[in-house]
Structure 1
Amino acid sequence: MTANMISMIYAYTAAGVCIIIGAAGLGSAIGWGLICSKTIEGIARQPEMKPVLMTNMFVFAGLMESFPFIILAFAMWFLFANPFVGAMGVAIKAIGG
């Protein structure tokens, strides 16, 4: 396994990590928008339900906020403890190269 192969694996992994983090951020932003808009809509329909709706909004917002951090942890694992380099070495040895 040459240095060029390893550098290509890291380059493609970095590009994939960028796409993953961008998609997680976009998904979280859309989720935040939907949660907040539906809460405001519910409060406008039934103002007496505001405490219940706000509590639910903050619970679901916390869940929505944890999603990008979980994705970030997986992305950093791919970036710094890259499992593809070891898999490539095993595949090359299995082929007989």
Structure 2
Amino acid sequence: MEAQFIADIYAATAIGVGVILAAAGLGSAIGWGLICSKTLEGIARQPEMRPALMTNMFIFAGLMESFPFIILAFAMWFLFANPFVGAMQAALGA
């Protein structure tokens, strides 16, 4: 029965990691779209501000792009060093 519990934990973790990575990818895509659209709106209003707006866009896009990589690191931690398996083994006395 213990092996079944651990298999269930790994299965639930795999599903959770998939959902987390999909949400991070979707959030990143929406963020890129918003950043680029607002930059283009600003350039359309004030074309002389283009260099400053482009610089700000790339700075904020880089900060926004780091979010999926942080999420990826947490997802890999849950996938390969799953803390729930150790907790289950401790609870079952294995």
Query: Which band: TM-score by shorter chain?
Result: over 0.9
Cα distance in 2 for residues equivalent to 1:60 and 1:46: 19
Corresponding residue pairs, total: 94
Q: Which amino acid aligns with 1:9?
A: I
Query: C-alpha separation between the residues in 2 aligned to 1:63 and 1:8?
Result: 36
Could you tell me the TM-score, scaled by structure 1's length?
Answer: 0.92
Query: Is 1:77 aligned with 2:80?
Result: no
Q: What residue number does 1:2 align with?
A: 2
* Matching residue of 2:92: 92
The question of 1:18 aligning with 2:18 is answered: yes
Per-residue deviation, 1:92: 3.0
TM-score of the superposed pair, with normalisation by structure 2: 0.95
Q: Tell me if the contact between 2:43 and 2:50 (Cα under 8 Å) persists in the aligned partners.
A: yes
| Unaligned residue ranges in structure 1 (runs of 5+) | none
2: distance between equivalents of 1:50 and 1:29? 23
| Counterpart Cα distance in 2 of 1:31 and 1:21 | 15
- Is it true that 1:64 corresponds to 2:70 in the alignment? no
Q: How many percent identity over aligned positions?
A: 79
Q: Give, as a single letter, the amino acid of the residue that structure 2 aligns with 1:82.
A: N
What value does the CA root-mean-square deviation take over the aligned residues? 1.4
Q: Aligned partner of 1:87: which letter?
A: A
The DSSP-based 3-state class of the residue aligned with 1:24 is: helix
Shift of 1:21: 0.2
The 1-side partners of 2:78 and 2:5 are apart by: 17
